[in-house]
Amino acid sequence: MEYYFTYFIVFKSNENGFSGPIVLFRNLESVKKNTNGTMHLLDDDLNGTLGAIEYIMHLPRNVFDVYDLDEEFMASSYDTPHQIVLVPDYVLVNLKIDNIAPTMFILTEDCSKDIKNNCEKRKPLLGTYYTHELNRELIKKQWEKIWLSKRTNDFEFEAVKDINIHFRLEGEKLKALPALYISRQFGKANDLLFEIFNCSEIEKKCIDIQWKNISHLNALISMKKKGITCWDDKVYDDEIVKQRYKFDISVVITFPGIPKSQKKYGLSVNILSENEKRAIRIMGVHRAIARGGILMELSCAKEELYKKYGELEQRCKNGTNNKYVWKTFSDLGKLLGSCFNSFQIEVLKRAKDITIFSDFPIGLAILENDEVPLQCYKSISYRPLTPLTRQLQLELLKKNQVYLGKKCKVAIAECIINNDENKYVYLMSNFVRSTLIDMEKKYEGFSVTYQQTYSVESILEFIKNNQDADILYISAHGYYNIKQNMAGIMVGEEFWMASEDINVPPIVILSACHSSPRGMGAVNIADMFIRNGAISVLGTFIPVNAHRNLILMTRLFTYIVEAQQKSRQYKTLSDAWCGVVATNAIHELMSESKSFNKWMHDTNSKGKPRIIEFQLERCVGKLRSTHIYSDTIKIIKEMLAEEGMEGRFGNILNTRDFFPESFFYQFIGYPENIFLYNDIFEESYSNLF
C-alpha cells in the first residue's frame, strides 16, 4: 500500500538545459547574457507552476492526513511535507517513474495534448488536469476519492473529522495551511477558516491558532502519559497553561534580499518580483506544513544589513580586533530587529527551532536584550534563496532522514599538502584524523576511511568510491576570489567548486577557510554540495584558525559517538551543532590566552585539571544558553577567587577581548533530518536485528 503521495507538475520548458543550477560566471559579459531580470534568479518557465503548487498544498500529504489520528500518532510526525516534483515537458516523455505511483499530474496551460495523454497513460490516482481546471470543488472531491481508495487498509482509522470542509486559500491566507492540517484533526477547520477570513492580521492569527493547536495536542499527550482516561476539566486547564507557556512550535522565516555587490555583477536586480515573492511564500508554507509549525514573512533585507555584515567578513579576512566583532554582532541585531515587529521577535525567541529561507545569516545577530547571537540558543537550519529555481525544486521534494545512532562512516579527504608551508595546518588536520581513528577503535558503530587527495580527479574518485559514507569530511585551504565572487577550496594546488554532476554523502563538512561566505552573495562550494544531493553542509564565513577548528570538529564528533552510546543530550545534528556553539565559550577564552589556557589545564589543590573540574562539576546546570559567556566568566572568576587569584586574566574576562570563532560556521540544508538519536529509528533497528 502506498502511504505517501507524489504529485507531479509538468511545465513547458523553453530550453532543454533547464535544471536551475548555480551558474559560474567568469566575466561580466557572460553574466549579463544570462540574467532574467529577477532578484533571486527564478526561471520564467516556473511562473505557470506556482498556482498548481499552492493547490497541491491543500491536498493530503500522505494517507494519514485522511484518517482520524490519536494524539501520539499526530505527534510522531516530524518532517511531513508534500512531495511535489516539477518536471519540464521534454523530460516527462522519457521519465521513468515505474517505482512511483503518481498521485496526480497538473499541467501548465502551454503543455500540449500529447503531454497530457502521456500523463494519463500513467494512471494517476487523482487524474490529470490543466491549471485552469483546479478549484475548490475539485479539492473536496479529491479528498473524498483518497479516503474511498484508502479506507480498506492495515489501520483501524475513521475518516478525519473535517474531511469535507475545504476552501482554496490564496495570497497571505496560504499561511493558514500549516494550522489547517492540525485543526482538521480536532474538528476545528470551520473555526480556523472563519477566523482567517475575518481578521486584519493574518500572520498573527495563524500563529495564535497553531499555538493553541500544538498546546492542545501536547496537553492531551501529557494527560495520557499520566494515565488520565476520563476527561477532567481541572487537569486539562492546568496542563494547557503549562503547554501554552512552552510555545513548543517550529518557526519558519522567509527573508529575501541580496547584497549590493551581487547586483553589481548584473545577474540580479533591485526589485523582488511578484512571482519571486509568491515562490518564496510557497517555500515557507511548504516547510511550515512539513514541520507542523508557523511561517513569518519579512520584507527584503536592507542594504545596510548586508553592508555591515560584508564589512565584518572582509575585516575578519584581512585582520580585525575582537571588540569590533562583538560590536558588529550587536549592530546587526539592531538592524535585524527593525525588520521584525515586537510580536515576531517574541515568537522568534520562544521558537522550538528555526528554519530560515534567506541568503543572510540571521543567526549571527545579537538581538535586543541578548548577550549572544540567536544561533547560540536556537537550533537553526538555513536554506539560501539564490538561485530560487533550484531552491524551489529542492524544497518541494521530501528529504531523506539519516540515522547516525547505530552507524556512522566518515570519509576524510585530505587536500592540504604536507610541506613546510602547511606544516602547522597539516598538523592540526592530522590531529582531527587521529582523534577520529581513536574513536573508530573505541566505538563499534563508528568507522573512518582516509585518503590524501591532491587533485580534483583524485577527490572525485575518492567520493565515488565512498558512496556508503555518511559524512564527507574535507580538510582543505579555502580560496575566496572576491573579483569573481566565488568561494571554493584548493585540492592540492587545484581550485575546486564541486560544480560537477556528482553524488555525495548526505553530510559534508568543509574544514576550510571562508568556504561559504555570505556578505557579498558569492557563489560557493557549500551551496554546490547541496545542489549535488547533500542533505546538510557545514561551511565557514571567514578564515578560521586550525587549532580552534580542531576543537570544534572534535566536539561535534564526540557528540555523535556519545549518541551511539545512548546519550540523549542531542537528538539531531542541528541540535548538536547548536550545543557546540553554545558551550564553546570556555574554549574560545582559552584560545585567546596562553597563560589562561595553561592555568585551566594545570591541576588545582584537589589534584584535578581545572578544565575537567569546570566541565564535569562547575558548569553543570549553570550555563544558560542565552548568557553562556557571562555565566562561564562568572564561574571562572569564582574558581580564581577560591585560589586567591582575583583579578587574574582580566584582559579576557572583563573586556570580552576574545574571538567567537564558532559563530562563523553555518550548517545549510536539513541538519534537523540527521538524527543522532531517535526512538522510532531505535525501534526499527531492534526489529531488524
pLDDT at residue 230, rounded to an integer:
81
Tens digit of each residue's pLDDT (9 = 90 or more) over 434-483? 999 999 999 999 999 999 999 999 999 999 999 999 999 999 999 998 88
Strand partners, 439: none
Three-state SS for 21-33 is CCCCCCCHHHHHH
pLDDT band at 266 (very low <50, low <70, confident <90, very high): low
- What is the Cα–Cα distance from 244 to 480, expressed in whole angstroms? 47
Q: Enumerate the H helices of 420-517 as residue ranges.
A: 423-442, 456-465
Can you tell me the mean pLDDT for 618-631? 87
> What cell numbers appear for 604 in the block?
588545582
pLDDT of residue 403: 95
Number of H helices, E strands in the chain: 27, 20
Task: Judge contact between 336 and 306, C-beta under 8 A.
Answer: no
In terms of DSSP H, where are the helices of 226-321?
Answer: 233-246, 260-264, 274-291, 303-318
Q: What pTM does this model have?
A: 0.93
Q: How far apart are CA 498 and CA 484, in angstroms?
A: 16
* Phi, psi (degrees; rounded to nearest 5) at 201: -110, 85
Over residues 356-375, the mean pLDDT reads: 92
Please state the rounded mean pLDDT for residues 240-261: 91
User: Which region among 232-241, 266-275, 509-518, 566-575 has the lowest average model confidence (pLDDT)?
Assistant: 266-275
Residue 26's pLDDT band (cuts 50, 70, 90): very low
Residue 28: is its pLDDT beyond 60? no
Q: Residue 360 — very low, low, confident or very high, per pLDDT cuts 50/70/90?
A: very high
Mind listing the pLDDT tens digit for each residue in 528-539? Answer: 999 999 999 999
Q: According to the per-residue pLDDT averaged within each range, which of 170-174, 324-328, 340-344, 659-663 is highest?
A: 170-174
Question: Would you say residue 385 has pLDDT above 90?
Answer: yes
> Which pLDDT belongs to residue 30?
46
* Of 331-340, 550-559, 627-636, 653-662, the least confident: 653-662
**Beta-bridge partner residues of 9:** 86, 106
90-94, 175-179, 285-289, 610-614: the lowest-pLDDT one? 90-94
Residue 681 — very low, low, confident or very high, per pLDDT cuts 50/70/90? confident
Q: Give the span between the Cα atoms of 30 and 390, in whole angstroms.
A: 20
Q: What's the pLDDT at 15? A: 63
The residues near 656 (Cβ < 8 Å, ≥ 6 apart) are 322, 323, 326, 629
**Residue 155 pLDDT:** 61
Rounded to whole angstroms, the Cα distance separating 399 from 560 reads 21
pLDDT of 587 > 80? The answer is yes
Query: Assign residue 452 a region: left if phi > 0, alpha if psi is -120 to 50, beta otherwise?
Result: beta
**CA 301, CA 187: separation in Å to the nearest integer?**
39
Any idea of the CA torsion for 481, 482, 487, 488, to the nearest 10 degrees? 10
* pLDDT of res. 687: 67
Asked whether the predicted pLDDT for residue 407 surpasses 90, the reply is yes
For the chain, the average pLDDT equals: 90
Phi, psi at 346, each rounded to 5°: -65, -45
Q: How far apart are CA 130 and CA 151, in angstroms?
A: 28
pLDDT, position 404: 95
Please report the pLDDT score of residue 25 as a whole number: 41
**Is there a contact between 42 and 389 (Cβ–Cβ < 8 Å)?**
yes
Q: In what helix (H) or strand (E) does residue 568 lie, and over which residues does it extend? A: none
Give 585: exposed, middle or buried? Use CB within 10 Å, 0-12, 13-18, 19+.
buried
Q: What percent of the chain has pLDDT over 90?
A: 71
Residue 354's contacts (CB-CB under 8 Å, 6 or more residues apart) are 250, 251, 252, 253, 348, 363, 374, 378, 379, 380, 381
Cα–Cα distances in angstroms (integers) from residue 97 to residues 63, 257, 275, in the given order: 20, 37, 30
- What is the CA angle 673-678-682, rounded to 5? 125
Model confidence at 19: pLDDT above 50: no
Over its C-alpha atoms, the chain yields an Rg (Å, rounded) of 26
pLDDT at residue 232 tops 90:
no
